[in-house]
Amino acid sequence: MTPRGAGGNCPLTIWLGCWLLLPCLLVWSLPTYGPETCDHLIGEGHLMKLQQLIDSQMETSCHITFKFADRDQLKDSICYLKKAFPLIQDIFEEIIRFKDNSSNYNASRDLHELYLRLRDAGCVTREHEERDEACVRTFNNTPVQILEKVQNIFVETNRLLKDDWRIFDRDCTSSFAKCVSSGPERQNMGSPVLQFQGSDFWVLIAGILLVLLAVGGLLFYKQRQRNRQELQPAEILLEQPEIRSPLNQEEDRQVEMPV
């Protein structure tokens, strides 16, 4: 008599245990992302790629207009990062683009994927936090300056997450509300505001001064010409010889005759 289970037939409980263990193994083998894993998502390799991306940019005077968090209004560094972090996606998808399959394209793609992992894990922003225009304003920067903003966000986020991966649980609703009340012009007021950067401002001032000098010189020249035209008729009258009548000429001859 063969003992139960020794003839090659496994008991039902063993089969059920195997089937239950298989999903657990699959889930365990998949990469998991969550707030507790945020402190090591940003690696030194990512920061090096970002620095190389900045160094490879051509120096140019061209500026790109884009929206980003206003650090002047958000003094709290945590709230500033929570506001700026979602805007990085727009930079990677709409503003900074490179030729397909180039080294810069591959680097920007890897950094974009890093952003998506941080977002999906809820490392900086939470699902219930809405994205709005509060504390956001329009910037006009070069590509290098834009990438440096992204670099600052990643570096500061990495530092804070390594100190405490729960640090971004802070509620910034009150800080964002202050931005709305203190800076309505920066929100959707419908009136565009010109933004000037350092050298651009002084170039504009110099241009305005040159225009004013040119207009002043032209007005002075026209006034001088007008005055000259008014003086010419009087000078002509003074230069003409005196025309004497025949009667006056006869009187002169009589005076000259001796008595």
- Domain ranges, ordered by start, for the chain: 35-195, 197-235
Closest CA to 157 of 214, 204, 114, 219: 114
| Banded model confidence at residue 28, pLDDT cuts 50, 70, 90 | very low
What gap in Å lies between CA 112 and CA 107, rounded to an integer? Answer: 9
Do the beta carbons of residue 38 and residue 161 sit within 8 Å?
yes
The correct CATH number of 35-195 out of 1.20.1250.10, 3.30.1130.10, 3.40.605.10, 2.40.10.340 is 1.20.1250.10
* Residue 132: strand, helix, or coil: coil
Phi, psi of 174 (to 5 degrees): -65, -40
6: DSSP letter: T
pLDDT at site 229: 74
Q: Is this model's pTM higher than 0.75 or not?
A: no
Per the DSSP assignment, residues forming a β-bridge with 140 are 65
245 has a pLDDT exceeding 60: no
Q: Give the whole-angstrom CA distance, residue 108 versus residue 110.
A: 5
SS3 state of residue 141? strand
Query: How far is Cα 121 from Cα 233, in angstroms, rounded to an integer?
Result: 91
Q: What is the per-residue pLDDT across 124-183, written as a single tens digit (0 to 9) for each?
A: 987 667 778 889 999 999 999 999 999 999 999 999 999 988 899 999 999 999 886 544
Residue 183, pLDDT score: 43
- Has residue 113 got a pLDDT over 60? yes
**β-strand partners of 138:** 67
